[in-house]
A = this chain, B = another copy of it.
Amino acid sequence: MATLLKGAAAAAALNERTAAVIEGLKAKGITPALGILRVGERPDDLSYERGAVKRCDALGIAVKKYLLPEDVSQEKLMETIKGINEDAAIHGALIFRPLPKHLDDEAVRQALLPEKDVDGITDGSLLGVFAGVPKGFPPCTAQACMEILEQAGIDPKGKEAVVVGRSLVVGRPAAMLLLQRNATVTICHTRTQDMEGVCRRAQILIVAAGRAGVIGADHVSAGQTVIDVGIHVGEDGKLRGDVDFQAAEPIVEAITPVPGGVGAVTTAVLASHVVEAASRSVRS
């Protein structure tokens, strides 16, 4: 039976490190603060927001909400972001997306200062993750995969890592984070021939395909660590991942559950980014 890599354990370990940094900041009179900008009331956003606020409260990170109506104008939205940028007391901002269709997503993404971009949505953050420089922050989900590896005691150095999926939100950033940790990294995707064979040779397999259950018994092999980024609601109403857990679990060495895997780490990563942003603001 495979080791179950529960997100809660990785989150707890990360939260502990974050709490220690917060203590140091508070000793200097700084309370790290997260701004949450939400347009409308999408259930997914509200659910993630509750988790983020709970996490911040528990750690002693202040939260300021910027709530805008669904029909907000682009101008008002941009003004709000400008306000966040200019408010030195807000160290990081989470902007819920996708935005309603009448709004210009690209303009919104780029309006936020990279140094406050704790969710990794700006070009500055993407560049930071590609170039391996501390500019902005990696997207929380990509970073959450690394936290799970860290908690499991798996050092990617020299290992064969395969990332399924090449989105800018997970696949590509996860590949770059693995590369920074000195893994040999392969990125595959829908055009990959012999996806099974490529996945099987991985020692670390990160699956961010965005389609339920596409990675099955033929894609995995003994000794692998499998991290499943997918989250989908099945026909039975239950949550499942990109990996067919029942098929893969008996074969691999370690695997994340869905739910309770990567998704359980993202708010801890978000909180750690807010605290890192606050720390950087002191150093600069």
Contacts and interface: CB of A to CB of B under 8 A. Distances in A.
Interface of A: 123-124, 126-127, 130-131, 157-160, 166, 168, 172, 175, 179, 182, 184-189, 191-193, 198
A158 B193 contact: yes
A191 B179 CA distance: 10
Contacts of A126: 127, 130-131
B186 A185 contact: yes
24 contacts: A123-B127, A123-B131, A126-B127, A126-B130, A126-B131, A127-B127, A127-B130, A131-B168, A157-B191, A158-B191, A159-B193, A160-B193, A175-B187, A179-B187, A184-B186, A184-B187, A184-B188, A184-B189, A184-B191, A184-B192, A184-B198, A185-B186, A185-B187, A186-B186
A81 B51 CA distance: 48
A130 B172 contact: yes
A181 to B, nearest CB: 9
A200 to B, nearest CB: 13
- Give the 7 A-B CB pairs with smallest separation, nearest first: A182-B191, A130-B130, A186-B186, A184-B192, A158-B193, A127-B127, A184-B188
Contacts of A185: 186-187
Contact of A158 (B159, B179, B192): B192
Nearest to A162: B186
A107 to B, nearest CB: 15
Contacts of A168: 131
Nearest to A195: B184
A192 B182 CA distance: 8
Contacts of A130: 126-127, 130, 172
Contact of A193 (B131, B184, B191, B192): B184
A168 B193 CA distance: 27
A76 B157 CA distance: 44
A194 to B, nearest CB: 8
A160 B198 CA distance: 9
Contacts of A193: 158-160, 184
A110 to B, nearest CB: 11
Contacts of A179: 166, 187, 189
Contacts of A172: 130
A32 to B, nearest CB: 27
Nearest to A156: B191
A187 B180 CA distance: 11
A135 to B, nearest CB: 8
A193 B166 CA distance: 24
A184 B189 CA distance: 7
A131 B126 CA distance: 8
